[in-house]
Amino acid sequence: MNKEYTIVIEQDEDGIYVASVPELEGCHTQAKNLDILEERIKEAIELYLEVESDLINEVPLEFIGIHKVKVAV
């Protein structure tokens, strides 16, 4: 069975890529390049679902998009 998850990718101040899965709280990883990042996030998802096996059949939220908002600080 295959499931699809949305991945959010950011880059920190040192140039390291960080991936997280909004549907799976606390599921994230990092790598120096995007190819390795993809491998690692797939592994992180698989391990997460092994531990949280009750989430395997849960329907994830539908990804709509990411939007930036400006606020005065």
pTM: 0.78
Domain 1-73 class, CATH top level:
alpha beta
Which residue bears the tokens 């390291």? 16
pLDDT of residue 4: 87
Q: b/e map of 58-70 (b: 16 or more CB within 10 Å)?
A: eeeeeeeeeeeee
3-state secondary structure of 35: helix
Residue type, 16: I
Residue 55: what pLDDT? 66
Q: What is the pLDDT of residues 24-73, one digit of tens each?
A: 889 999 999 999 999 999 999 999 988 887 766 666 667 788 888 899 99
pLDDT of residue 56: 64
* Chain-centroid distance, C-alpha 6: 6
The predicted pLDDT at position 25 comes to 87
